[in-house]
Amino acid sequence: MIENYLQLPYGFSKAARYNTGDGITMALNVGAKLWHMGNIAGPDANFVIPETNISAGYSIQGPGKFGQGALGSKGTIFVGSDGTRFTNESFMTNHGHVNVSGTWKMLQVPVPAYAIFDDATIKTGPIYVNWSKDNSEEIEK
């Protein structure tokens, strides 16, 4: 459903690993009319943790959710495989959309994408709310 509705063939749900969209299917089966199904409430860079097959999400834009600080608020920039930045990390999204010359468009996150930060950023403490104190575990992964 992520691929069909959001046009994100590489998208991962932050919901439970068994979330297959059954609720949406049931709603359709009883005649529900769907709207805004091509809208995300991110963007978060979601990753599947190989050991658990569970997705984890990282806010990459603006100040972050619930005051936790997005990766982009900690001196981190994001680039695609060609080495170019694909977003202004300081801008907040509006339900997954960014303002591009006055038009709100869904932010396209390339795969793979890389977070780049320097040693000074590493030394400020956890780069993300649930990272290790010195970031070493996450950097090693």
Integer Cα distance of 16 and 108 in angstroms: 23
Taking residues 42-62, report their average pLDDT: 65
- Amino acid at position 15, single letter: A
* pLDDT in the model for residue 67: 45
* pLDDT in the model for residue 32: 95
Tell me which DSSP letter residue 53 carries.
Answer: T
Taking residues 30-55, report their average pLDDT: 73
* Strand, helix or coil for residue 108: coil
The contacts of residue 34 (CB under 8 Å, 6+ apart) are 24, 27, 28
Give how far Cα 39 sits from Cα of 18, 57, 96, 97, Å: 21, 17, 7, 8
Q: What is the pLDDT of residues 64-73, one digit of tens each?
A: 554 455 566 6
- Domain residue extents for the chain: 2-140
The sign one gets for the Cα dihedral 81, 41, 23, 53 is positive
Q: What is the pLDDT of residues 63-111, one digit of tens each?
A: 555 445 556 666 788 899 999 998 877 777 777 777 788 888 877 778 7
Burial 101-135, CB ≥16 within 10 A → b, else e? eeeeebbebeeeeebebeeeebeeebbbeebeeeb
With 0.85 as the threshold, say if the pTM is over it: no
Q: Is the pLDDT of residue 18 over 90?
A: no
* pLDDT in the model for residue 66: 45
Q: Kindly indicate the confidence band of residue 6, based on its pLDDT and cuts at 50, 70 and 90.
A: confident
